[in-house]
Structure 1
Amino acid sequence: MAQVHFLTHPEVAIDPATPIPDWPLSARGLERSRAMLAQPWVAGIGAMFSSTERKACDMAAILAGHLGLGFTQVAALGENDRSATGYLPPAEFEATADAFFARPEESVRGWERAVDAQARIVAAVRSVLAQAPPGDVAIIAHGGVGALLLCHIKGVTISREEDQPGVGGGNVFRFTRVGWGLVKGWRRL
């Protein structure tokens, strides 16, 4: 049965002076993206879609180059809109992200509401799967919207409990293309 591999970009080069969507992968993020290519499931991917944010496109380009495929950029696969605050120091970011998930019906500090980001990512995934050829699909995006998508797939309330593990991103979960049944939860790349 065909699967969807929802990947989150790994570590980025954080620059508070640069808009967050323009941050590239760091040297460690590039290294982890290349190491992912050895995973056995990678060979089965027949179509790829990516957020338009640079960090996701950097990862998608590595995977696409390895597979000899192109990838389609889709703005609706982007991370929850945090432009109201821009860069936040790590502790402040984590506290704000906690509030984002805890109060999904509210705009926390001007961020996109979690319920709206969830509706957007679910609709975007439905759209890309409708246009993808048969077979396995890779979607390269972000941890926050990945957690929201996973909540939807599992039929649970929006919660940070479904957020990706570890620090720095670079995770994957898989679900069936038909019926959206969870095959495997978050795993580090």
Structure 2
Amino acid sequence: MAFARSGPVRSEAARRSILQAAAELLAERGYESLAIEQIAARAGVGKQTIYRWWPSKGAILAECLLEGTMLDGRLDLPDTGDIRADLRDWLGRIFALLERPEGEGLLRALIAAAADNAEVGRRLRDSLSGSESVSGRLARAAGTAPNLTPVAPFEEIAEALIGAVLLRALSRTPVEPGDADRLLDAILGR
């Protein structure tokens, strides 16, 4: 993790306690209501300890993501053999997360943390992709959709899907019925 830190070397037990507290409080209260003071109280550490190690609550949540304390595979891309159905399911779960206050705030906080730290950005992309990259899953599905030819730009198609999700989170665009299908039609073709 590349967040700049100053002061003494941190206690691993305190670090884990802080990350656990942040993840729990985010789930309970949502991002907007999450405060460093609450994290410190739940973790049993001083507020100054947290600020010595992380510059913001977004940075703490980013480290939670990097450590696997959040999302823990809930957004993995399934593989049923039907790429369109799998992507629809995957997008549906991401959109459902965005509809919850804690999910929307979390994703925006992670985007902000990713702007400051390339590793967070890579991990955010990977978390949205799950255990297998979206581009890898698309490549394995070559020939099953109009725009998935064997020479299709799989990485760019994956980036378009993930970019649409991130743009929706940043713009706070509400999810409408059929959004996932329209997005898939635009990117994969009918």
TM-score if structure 1 supplies the norm length? 0.29
Higher relative contact order (CA 8 A, sep 6+): 1
Give the number of the structure whose residues are more often strand, by fraction.
Answer: 1
Give the number of the structure whose residues are more often helix, by fraction.
Answer: 2
**Higher Rg:** 2
TM-score if structure 2 supplies the norm length? 0.29
